[in-house]
Amino acid sequence: MLLSSKPRRLKSALLCLALGLCGCGAEQYETRLKQSKDYFNYLDKIEQNLAVKWTDGRVVELLRVPKQFMAIPAPLPVKNEEGQEELPAVDPRQPNYLNLLFPTAELIGAWEAPFGVVAADGSADTRTAYIYVLSNYWKFATEDNAEALKFIGATVQLVGDALEEHLPPEKLERPDLELHPKRGKYLPESSYNVYTFPPKPITLRSTERETTVNYTFTMYAKQNGNIQAIVLVVLPDNISSQEKLVERIPMMLEHFQITRTEPKPSQGGAQQGPAQNSPVGF
């Protein structure tokens, strides 16, 4: 009887082991299924909130702005009297609501979107929000590296001059730091220095009336090697929460990637500024 009980105990042990392994396999399957579901939900959320992928072909490898925003086309070169191509004097991407002019070679792209807001007098109004992408990329083709690396500080100064409101020294030396995406997300983590200027009242005049609305200028600066880039977000106050910009702007920053390859100095003669806007529909 003792000998005959050993095979039964061995079979029982093997059965328990097999059931345990099956349970472990089922648990792994459920975990992977949940991870896949979470990932596809994440992709669907991105598609619902951000516009198609965009690149300028040189500096910006990837950008997806909030879905409301449309790209402002870059000006096309025209031929002068000598038959040479040159950019027109007016660039529609430049701010026309403020005494602010970005260096042409630094302005990579611009986007705009209308939003309903409340004006200072309490009346309803429609105001345009803007997103600008700027970079020191082309400065490496025409200037020494030391000057190119001063780009972020120079741009903060340029915007401050236009707003007549400069950030305090401690904010320049120790700007706010944000990570987009946060650790554990599906994309590589990027670090941004954030410079936020106090609200600026901007008055628009029409044939019917003039209205004043406060605008907030926020600069998100990142670096890849020596290449620096800024996403400048210009928003009127009192945008409805239904526009989801509080959620969509961090998503945009998650989907902003820049090159780390500097242009060769010889490229500066061929092109003194960014390439044309190029949406990528995939």
pLDDT digits (tens, 9 = 90+) for 99-149: 999 999 999 999 999 999 988 888 888 999 999 999 999 999 887 788 899
What is the distance between the alpha carbons of residues 155 and 221, in angstroms, rounded to a whole number? 10
Q: In this structure, are residues 50 and 66 in contact, taking their beta carbons and an 8 Å threshold?
A: yes
Phi-psi domain of 225 (left: phi exceeds 0; alpha: psi -120 through 50; beta: other): left
pLDDT of 74 = 92
pLDDT of 28 = 76
pLDDT band at 1 (very low <50, low <70, confident <90, very high): very low
pLDDT of 12 = 67
pLDDT band at 194 (very low <50, low <70, confident <90, very high): very high
pLDDT of 280 = 52
3-state helix, strand, coil in the chain (%, to 5): 35, 30, 35
pLDDT of 122 = 84
pLDDT band at 62 (very low <50, low <70, confident <90, very high): very high
pLDDT band at 193 (very low <50, low <70, confident <90, very high): very high
pLDDT of 30 = 75
What is the distance between the alpha carbons of residues 160 and 195, in angstroms, rounded to a whole number? 10
Mean pLDDT of 254-280: 68
pLDDT of 22 = 61
pLDDT band at 21 (very low <50, low <70, confident <90, very high): low
Neighbours of 203 (CB within 10 A): 11
- pLDDT at residue 277 above 70? no
What is the distance between the alpha carbons of residues 209 and 4, in angstroms, rounded to a whole number? 102
Pairing between β-strand 70-71 and β-strand 176-180 as defined by DSSP bridges: unpaired
Mean pLDDT of 20-43: 73
pLDDT of 164 = 94
pLDDT band at 273 (very low <50, low <70, confident <90, very high): low
What is the distance between the alpha carbons of residues 261 and 265, in angstroms, rounded to a whole number? 12
Range with top average pLDDT, 75-89, 111-125, 160-174, 219-233: 219-233
pLDDT of 210 = 87
pLDDT of 184 = 65
What is the distance between the alpha carbons of residues 244 and 136, in angstroms, rounded to a whole number? 31
Average the pLDDT over each of 62-76, 85-99, 228-242 and give the range with the smallest value: 85-99
- pLDDT at residue 157 above 80? yes
Mean pLDDT of 204-213: 80
Tell me the pLDDT of the chain averaged across its residues. Answer: 85
pLDDT of 268 = 44
pLDDT band at 271 (very low <50, low <70, confident <90, very high): very low
pLDDT band at 282 (very low <50, low <70, confident <90, very high): very low
CA angle 233, 235, 241 (to 5 degrees): 115
